């Protein structure tokens, strides 16, 4: 990223029936500020609603957004399908930045991602996602930090697309993009594990902050346990995709058992250690059950989207 030419960045948003969130996000992207040369920025919005509900928002945003905006309607339902459409529409950019439609970046967000990449010569830069609750949650929700994404120093094997910058050329070296069998969860972890296995370097930018809007229905024990279960299912699907079912089974069964037993033990100590620790234990147990459920169900029938670069039409 050194040299006279400023990098080109495509900011990708996969959205489905979140008009208020999308509008607020586009406004925050318009407010991005830069210390030096401004990169060549364009915004890519992939609408994953079969009724194309985000089209009118994007058309209106084009009248005031200072960056160019590409709108894509992806009728196939699923996060990996939408993210593959994002990448296809953004393929000509040097860098692709992912952000979710329920998040708001701070004004220096993109600059912080690009600065970390320059300093550390990374293929992927990830940043923190900080929760903002619409309604004050129970104290144990805050204490347990259940809605915060943990950071890391160096050597990460994977990353999430909620706040991410990735070199397009690094994606081009992979044989496939987001695996569409991974819906509804885990496609980002699976892809970036493949990227690091191929020699890609992931770093953390602590100052590249985005804020995630957390509705009341997500600030509950039920949602936390459901999330833990789904992450467990996704973890097993990744193991199955990389190995055969029978090669993956012994480790999955053993690890799932350990998670269930350890989680239930932690939950039983909640009267002594507090509600947050108890909920974390139940989440671990739910994760273990998800590991078993993933082994029973297996990956969805289908094949990964081949990495063929551009090819999704915009409107």
Instruction: Give DSSP secondary structure letters for 218-231.
Output: GSSHHHHHHHHHHH
Domain of 43 in residue numbering reads as: 8-216
Asked whether the predicted pLDDT for residue 2 surpasses 50, the reply is no
Task: Based on the fold, state whether residues 270 and 154 are members of the same structural domain.
Answer: no
User: Within a domain: residue 311?
Assistant: no
Q: What pLDDT is attached to residue 6?
A: 84
Q: Percent of the chain at pLDDT above 70?
A: 90
Confidence bin at 308 (pLDDT 50/70/90): very low
Q: What pLDDT is attached to residue 302?
A: 37
pLDDT tens figures, 21-54: 999 999 999 999 998 889 999 999 999 999 999 9
Distance CA 281, CA 166 (A): 34
Highest-confidence segment of 128-142, 181-195, 240-254: 128-142
Q: How many domains does the chain have?
A: 2
Task: Based on the fold, state whether residues 184 and 259 are members of the same structural domain.
Answer: no
Task: Based on the fold, state whether residues 145 and 27 are members of the same structural domain.
Answer: yes
Task: Based on the fold, state whether residues 261 and 245 are members of the same structural domain.
Answer: yes
Across 143-179, b (16+ Cβ under 10 Å) vs e yields ebebbebeeeeeebebbebbbbbbbbebbeeeebbbb
Mean pLDDT, the chain, whole residue set: 89
User: Within a domain: residue 253?
Assistant: yes
Confidence bin at 180 (pLDDT 50/70/90): confident
From the list 294, 24, 274, the residue with the least C-alpha distance to 142 is 274
What are the φ/ψ torsions at residue 220 (nearest 5 degrees)? -135, 160
Task: Based on the fold, state whether residues 268 and 138 are members of the same structural domain.
Answer: no
Task: Based on the fold, state whether residues 194 and 258 are members of the same structural domain.
Answer: no
Task: Based on the fold, state whether residues 146 and 108 are members of the same structural domain.
Answer: yes
Q: Please state which of the ranges 167-171, 180-184, 300-304, 306-310 shows the lowest mean pLDDT.
A: 300-304
Asked whether the predicted pLDDT for residue 288 surpasses 50, the reply is yes
Q: What pLDDT is attached to residue 156?
A: 72
User: Within a domain: residue 121?
Assistant: yes
Structure-model confidence comparison of residues 14 and 197, the more confident one: 14
Task: Based on the fold, state whether residues 98 and 206 are members of the same structural domain.
Answer: yes
Task: Based on the fold, state whether residues 126 and 265 are members of the same structural domain.
Answer: no
Q: What pLDDT is attached to residue 230?
A: 92
Structure-model confidence comparison of residues 187 and 89, the more confident one: 89
Distance CA 310, CA 236 (A): 31
Asked whether the predicted pLDDT for residue 67 surpasses 80, the reply is yes
The CA-based dihedral angle spanning residues 246, 230, 235, 276, taken in that order and rounded to the nearest 10 degrees: -130
Structure-model confidence comparison of residues 97 and 238, the more confident one: 97
Mean pLDDT in residue range 81-103: 96
Task: Based on the fold, state whether residues 197 and 275 are members of the same structural domain.
Answer: no
Last residue of a domain, one of 192, 216, 240: 216
Task: Based on the fold, state whether residues 37 and 136 are members of the same structural domain.
Answer: yes
Structure-model confidence comparison of residues 159 and 112, the more confident one: 112
Q: What pLDDT is attached to residue 5?
A: 73
């Amino acid at each position: 990223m050194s040299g006279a030419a400023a990098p080109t960045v495509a900011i990708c948003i996969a959205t489905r029936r979140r008009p208020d969130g999308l509008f607020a996000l586009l406004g925050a992207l318009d407010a991005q500020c830069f210390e030096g040369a401004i990169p060549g920025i364009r915004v890519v919005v992939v609408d994953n609603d079969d009724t194309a509900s985000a089209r009118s928002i994007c058309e209106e945003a084009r009248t005031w957004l200072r960056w160019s905006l590409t709108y894509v309607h992806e009728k196939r339902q699923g996060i990996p399908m939408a993210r593959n459409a994002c990448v296809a529409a953004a393929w000509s950019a040097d860098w692709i930045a992912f952000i979710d439609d329920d998040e708001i970046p701070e004004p220096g967000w993109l600059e912080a991602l690009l600065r970390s990449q320059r300093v550390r010569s990374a293929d992927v830069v990830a940043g923190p996602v900080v929760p903002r609750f619409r309604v004050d949650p129970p104290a144990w929700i805050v204490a347990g930090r259940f809605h915060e994404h943990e950071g890391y120093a160096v050597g990460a094997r994977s990353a999430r697309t909620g706040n991410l910058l990735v070199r397009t050329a690094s994606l081009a070296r992979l044989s496939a993009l987001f695996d569409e069998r991974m819906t509804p969860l885990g496609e980002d972890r699976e892809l970036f594990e493949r990227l690091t296995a191929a020699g890609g370097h992931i770093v953390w930018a602590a100052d590249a902050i985005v804020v995630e809007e957390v509705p009341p229905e997500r600030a509950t024990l039920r949602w936390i346990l459901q999330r833990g279960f789904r992450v467990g299912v996704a973890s097993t699907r990744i193991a199955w995709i990389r190995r055969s079912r029978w090669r993956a089974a012994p480790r999955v069964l053993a690890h799932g058992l350990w998670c269930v037993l350890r989680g239930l033990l932690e939950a039983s100590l909640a009267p002594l250690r507090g509600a947050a620790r108890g909920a974390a234990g139940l989440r671990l147990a739910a994760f273990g059950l998800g590991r078993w459920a993933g082994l029973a169900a297996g990956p969805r029938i289908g094949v990964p989207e081949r990495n063929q670069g551009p090819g999704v039409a915009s409107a």
